[in-house]
C-alpha cells in the first residue's frame, strides 16, 4: 500500500472532486472544512448563514468572499441570519 496516501482520503477528494462545484480559488483548508461538514455543492451552502460557515475550522472571510459570487452566479445566496429583516432601523 502506498505510504503517501492521506490518513483521511475522502475529505480532500470529495470537496475538490468532479461532484463539487466550488470555485477554483477556494483554499484547500476551506475545501477541507466544507467537505468535513458534509458540503459538496454550492446549493447546499444556500441553507446556511455566513456566520455558521465561519464557525468551521479552515473557513475564513476570504473563503466567504470567494463563495459569495459563485453562489450569486447560480442565483443563490447564503441564508439570512435569523431575525434579519434586510432593512436597517
Maximum pairwise Cα distance, the chain: 62
Closest to 21 measured CA to CA, from 55, 52, 46: 46
Cell of 39: 458540503
Cell of 12: 480532500
Single pTM value for the model: 0.73
Q: State how far the Cα of 23 lies from the Cα of 5, in Å rounded to an integer.
A: 25
* Residue 66 pLDDT exceeds 90: yes
Q: Mean pLDDT, the chain, as a whole number?
A: 82
* CATH code of domain 10-73: 1.10.150
Amino acid at each position: 500500500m502506498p505510504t503517501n496516501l492521506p490518513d483521511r482520503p475522502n475529505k480532500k477528494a470529495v470537496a475538490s472532486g468532479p461532484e463539487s462545484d466550488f470555485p477554483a480559488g477556494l483554499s484547500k483548508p476551506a475545501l477541507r472544512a466544507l467537505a468535513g461538514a458534509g458540503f459538496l455543492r454550492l446549493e447546499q451552502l444556500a441553507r446556511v448563514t455566513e456566520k455558521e460557515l465561519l464557525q468551521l475550522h479552515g473557513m475564513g472571510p476570504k473563503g466567504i468572499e470567494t463563495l459569495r459570487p459563485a453562489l450569486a452566479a447560480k442565483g443563490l445566496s447564503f441564508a439570512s441570519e435569523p431575525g434579519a429583516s434586510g432593512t436597517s432601523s
